[in-house]
Amino acid sequence: MFSIGDLVVHPMHGAGVIADIVQEKTAGVTREYYVFKMPMGGLILKIPAANFQMIGVRAILSPGEVQALLEAIPGLKVESSANWNKRYQENLLRLKSGDLYEVARVVKSLMRRDQQRGLSTGERKMLHNARQIIVSEIVLVENCAYQEAESRLDRAMLQEAAV
């Protein structure tokens, strides 16, 4: 499905590259693994090729799709439960979906909550991870600096929706 050098996105870690495809024998069974490497942070994962789709790994967006996402962020509707546990679980499901629009909803709702009431340690970490997922994809798609991608995301998040 993927080849060495393909740019892909892991739903919980962000954008990276297929650095290698290896065969490994575990418990007497030989399996194929994609070696996923994130340029930012240097994270390296070995993901079983058979599980790639189930995990939600996908090809990165096109530049036009990234631009459409950034333009859509001000108009994204966000709701969040007053119950911390329910809110956390809903946001976790959004992150695991791999859908950048859902990840953007998580970022937007947590940024808004942080401004209004502050965030718990768990939600602060989730906000950081969600931002990282979006920023890492912008960096790879547009071949720009991390700070530039982060600034573009922040501008989109702080913009008000046109009425």
List pLDDT tens digits, range 108-140: 999 989 988 888 899 999 999 999 999 999 999
Q: Please indicate, yes or no, whether the overall pTM of this predicted structure exceeds 0.85.
A: yes
Torsion of CA 139, 107, 123, 48, to 10 degrees: -50
Report CA dihedral (123, 129, 133, 136) to the nearest 10 degrees: 140
Task: Sheet with 29-37: list strands edge to edge.
Answer: 44-48, 29-37, 14-26, 7-10, 58-59
Over residues 144-163, the pLDDT tens digits come to 999 999 999 999 998 875 54
